[in-house]
Amino acid sequence: MSLRAPALWFFAGWAMLATAGAAWAQTPAPLPPEVAAPQDRPYPGVIRLAVDAHDLRRHVFRVTETIPVASGALTLLYPKWGPGSHAPVGRIDSLAGLVIRAGGQRLEWTRDTVDMYAFHLTVPAGASSLELEFQFLSPTDENQGRIVVTPEMLNLQWLSVVLYPAGYFVRQIEVEPSVRLPDEWQFATALEIASASGATTTFKPVSLETLVDSPMFAGHYVKRVDLDASGPVPVRLNVFADRADLLEAKPAQLDAHRALVAQAYKLFNSHHFDHYDFLLALSDRLGFIGLEHHRSSENATAPTYFTEWDKNPDTRELLPHEFTHSWNGKFRRPADLWTANFNVPMRDSLLWVYEGQTQYWGYVLSARSGLVTKEQALDQLAYTAAIFSHRPGREWRSLEDTTNEPIVAGRQPIPWRSWQRGVDYYSEGELIWIDADTLIRELSNGQKSLDDFARAFFGVDDGQWVAKTYTFDDVVAALNAVQPYDWAAFLHARLDRHDGPPLDGLARGGYRLTYTDTASDYFKKLEARRKFSDFTFSLGFAVGRENKLSDVLWGGRAEAAGLAVGTQLIAVNGEAYEKDRLMAMITAAKTDNAPLEFIVKDGNRYSTVRIDYHDGLRYPHLTRDEHTPARLDEILAPRQ
Ligand SMILES: [Zn+2]
């Protein structure tokens, strides 16, 4: 999954505190029996799953499902844990209209009283299959969750539209899926077509594991580009857009995407798919996504990805990141993250490899492929390094503990990112892998690099796409095979540390993190496209939509003055807030002893706060250190 997840709003209920002190001894009511654990045995028969996805106005997916069964007790599960999300993301609240029949006779179901994703029923004697009807009521407004249906396109995730029998590994449950789309729409998916009739397409049966790993994008405005015509297997870019003109891509832009495939093959020396389909939505209506699969990836980004190419360099790490995941995350997967079905809890302890190293290779491949320039890559890394140089949360929370964040916080907005830390295993993980890469290069006198690790760790079993799990010790052993060193101590020191910042890799890469009063071109474009103004490294806050603070640095000057995320900036030094005016005032305050005076609004309350700051604007850059080899330049250069 990609770093920037959709913003979801959750409303917390009131917590009730039980009062203690009853005079009699209460005994707890027993819990119900646990739902049957999955076993590695074939589920008898093939489930037929038909999804009607043509109701664009209501955003409703209507499902009919035929499940072969034997008589007796049966438990059906709605998927809870999402591969690639590493968290219990299943929208059980969006399932509605569930009616189950056997031979035309309606059967009553009851929901498990503990596991809200489990439905119990009794199959009557003589029945050999169940007919299920239900709907997946996908969000109709952004405040309900990620929008997956728009008038122009849709994103079908099979995880949302299937019930499956408990007690079996999902790789042992065979499903024949079909989908009805709006007339004249085209689609892309890693699934293979068995037959088509009108707007309904039936796919070849696959395991439920593969089905969930093979989502679909469909839409009205579509363009397909072959990215590797002479390669070992097809790799396609399937672009879906809000309008036809947004599909116009220049040859040089497509060549950079072709170079991405070529550079990934050089890096990993393998492919773990028999074909690969990038699903790419260029939309400001479909919700953001970056979600990895073995043979495809779901990507949504700026509608002007191609048509305003110069304005959005920050969008171009998305495809390299998700493509890398086919190797790192889908093929090689942490042992505690691989689960037998979608209702067994995932454990995320190795996400600093799964996501952290993917963040690193996504970054490296975006430069090696030419999707971004070397200068843009350096400016981007400067920003990452600066963010993690301002991370007071490291004092209480180790990087390793942040791997629990998808489960702890569910990726909803948090008030104090720098103190709570969020999903830091992505980008602080990236800094650790730069550290490791430059260390291997230094120790081996430039003979070895993390590329050799990638080739050894991900390049096995070429052509296979069955998940191959690993542990911490496997990672250490693979690093040692490339370059002997105490890698276990190296990694533990960085995963457990309470000081920082983790900038050794930059230094060994031949660069220093510096600040000037001028933002880099990359930084300015990032601010413009994401509609925020980042004063984190000076005043300790960022300003977002409606001039509300979108981030406030814990322990920074704004936090010390009592400001928090959500507070609205009204005026500075008596003038209505405007980004450029504030920048000029920060500069003027360098030679003025007076504090900056802000009028802010919190709810319906206005107040005045003063920030006594005189160090001027500060924006991060990487500055070349001529005393150290430019190892970072070598890392970012395309492989020949
Ligand atoms: Zn990811």
Task: Express each pLDDT in 166-223 by its tens digit.
Answer: 999 999 999 999 999 999 999 999 999 999 999 999 999 999 999 999 999 999 999 9
Give 604's Cβ-side CA count (13 Å radius).
0
602 in Cβ contact with 569 (< 8 Å): no
Residue range 301-314: mean pLDDT, rounded:
98
Residue 4: pLDDT band with limits 50, 70, 90: low
> 25: Cβ–Cβ under 8 A, 6 or more apart, which residues?
none
Q: State the distance from the centre of ligand 1 to the C-alpha of 589, rounded, in angstroms.
A: 42
Q: Is 382 in contact with 389 (CB distance < 8 Å)?
A: no
Q: Do 496 and 400 contact (CB within 8 A), yes or no?
A: yes
Instruction: Let me know: does 90 contact 82? Beta carbons within 8 Å.
Output: yes
Cα of 98 vs centre of ligand 1, distance in Å, is: 33
Q: In this structure, what token pair is assigned to residue 61?
A: 């997916």
Buried b (16+ CB within 10 A) or exposed e, 403-415: bbbbbbbebeeee
Q: Is the dihedral of CA 604, 605, 606, 612 positive or negative?
A: negative
Assess contact for 168 and 339: CB atoms under 8 A. no
In this prediction, residue 22 carries a pLDDT of: 57
pLDDT over threshold 70, residue 339: yes
Determine the distance separating the centroid of ligand 1 and the alpha carbon of 325, expressed in angstroms.
7
**Long-range contacts (CB closer than 8 Å, 24 or more residues apart) made by 410-416:** 410/8, 410/10, 410/87, 410/88, 410/89, 411/5, 411/6, 411/8, 411/87, 412/7, 412/8, 412/9, 412/10, 413/7, 413/8, 413/9, 413/565, 415/564, 415/565, 415/566, 416/552, 416/554, 416/565
Q: How far is the CA of 2 from the centre of ligand 1 (A)?
A: 4
What is the whole-number distance in angstroms between the Cα of residue 328 and the centre of ligand 1?
A: 9
Place of tokens 């260029």: 282
Q: How far is the CA of 86 from the centre of ligand 1 (A)?
A: 10
Task: For residue 420, report the distance from its CA to the centre of ligand 1, in Å.
Answer: 20
Q: Using the mean position of ligand 1's atoms as its centre, give its distance from the Cα of residue 356 in Å.
A: 8
Q: Which residues contact 540 (CB under 8 A, 6 or more apart)?
A: 552, 553, 556, 557, 558, 559, 560
Q: What is the pLDDT of residue 27?
A: 92
Q: What angle do CA 539, 543, 544 make, to 5 degrees?
A: 165
Question: Pairing between strand 186-189 and 60-68?
Answer: unpaired
CA 594 to ligand 1 centroid distance, Å: 46
Is 90 exceeded by the pLDDT of residue 602? yes
Q: How far apart are the C-alpha atoms of 202 and 195, rounded to whole Å?
A: 5
Which two structure tokens, joined as six digits, stand for 638? 């395309």
Determine contact, residues 535/402, Cβ cutoff 8 Å: no
Would you say residue 565 has pLDDT above 80?
yes
Exposed/middle/buried for 150, CB within 10 Å: 0-12, 13-18, 19+? buried
| Residues 106-113, mean pLDDT to the nearest whole number | 98
Range name among 7-11, 61-65, 483-487 with the lowest pLDDT average: 7-11
* pLDDT of 24 higher than 90: no
- Output the CA 357–ligand 1 centroid distance in Å: 9
Structure tokens at 486: 């105490």
Distance from Cα 35 to the centre of ligand 1, integer Å: 31
Give the model's confidence band at 456: pLDDT under 50 very low, under 70 low, under 90 confident, else very high.
very high
CA distances from 161 to 157, 218, 243, 289 (A): 7, 16, 28, 18
The percentage of residues in the chain with a pLDDT greater than 70, rounded to a whole number, is 97
pLDDT digits (tens, 9 = 90+) for 237-248: 999 999 999 999
Taking the C-alpha atoms of residue 451 and residue 175, their distance in angstroms, rounded to an integer, is 38
Residue 581 has pLDDT above 80, yes or no: yes
Contacts of 251 (CB under 8 A, 6+ apart): none
Nearest to 191 by CA among 181, 180, 201: 201
Residue 350 pLDDT level (bands cut at 50, 70, 90): very high
Residue 304: other Cβ atoms inside 10 A? 16
Distance of CA 410 to the CA centre of its chain: 12
> What average pLDDT does range 589-594 have in this prediction?
95
CA of residue 335 to ligand 1 center, whole Å:
17
Could you tell me whether strands 46-55 and 235-241 are parallel, antiparallel, or unpaired per DSSP bridges?
Answer: unpaired
Res. 10 pLDDT band, cuts 50 70 90: very low
Stated pTM of the model: 0.95
**What integer pLDDT is reported at residue 21 of this predicted model?**
55
pLDDT at position 16: 46
Mean per-residue pLDDT for 139-150? Answer: 97
CA of 31 to the centre of ligand 1 (A): 37
Average pLDDT over residues 321-348: 98
Mean pLDDT of the chain: 95
Distance 397 CA to ligand 1 centre (A): 22
- pLDDT of 20 reads 52
Strands, DSSP E only, in 302-459?
Answer: 332-334
Note whether 295 and 326 are within 8 A (CB): yes
CA of 158 to the centre of ligand 1 (A): 20
pLDDT of 375 > 80? The answer is yes
Instruction: Read off φ and ψ for residue 450, nearest 5 degrees.
Output: -65, -20
Beta-carbon contacts of 124 under 8 Å, excluding residues fewer than 6 positions away, are: 71, 102, 105, 107
In angstroms, what is the span from residue 628 Cα to ligand 1's centroid? Answer: 32
Query: Exposed, middle or buried: residue 445 (CB in 10 Å: 0-12, 13-18, 19+)?
Result: exposed
Residue pair 64/100 in contact by the 8 Å Cβ criterion: no
Work out the pLDDT band at 8, boundaries 50, 70, 90.
Answer: very low
What percent of the chain shows pLDDT beyond 90? 94
Q: Within a 10 A sphere around the Cβ of 279, how many other Cβ atoms?
A: 27
Closest to 640 measured CA to CA, from 79, 192, 233, 266? 266
**Predicted pLDDT of residue 15:** 44
How many other CB atoms are found less than 10 A from the CB of residue 23? Answer: 4
Q: Is beta strand 95-102 parallel, antiparallel or unpaired with respect to 129-137?
A: antiparallel
Closest CA to 475 of 559, 576, 352, 303: 352
The mean pLDDT value for 95-116 works out to 97
Residue partners of 499: CB distance under 8 A and separation at least 6: 394
Q: How many other C-beta atoms are found inside a 10 Å radius of the C-beta of residue 262? A: 17
Q: What is the rounded average pLDDT of the residues 481-493?
A: 98
Give start and end residues of each alpha helix (H) in 531-570: 557-560
Q: Where are the beta strands (DSSP E) in 474-628?
A: 511-516, 533-535, 541-543, 549-552, 568-572, 575-576, 596-602, 605-611, 619-624
What confidence tens digit (pLDDT) does each residue in 315-334 have?
999 999 999 999 999 999 99
Q: Are 378 and 364 in contact (CB under 8 A)?
A: no
Helices 450-458, 472-482: inter-axial angle, 10-degree rounding: 130
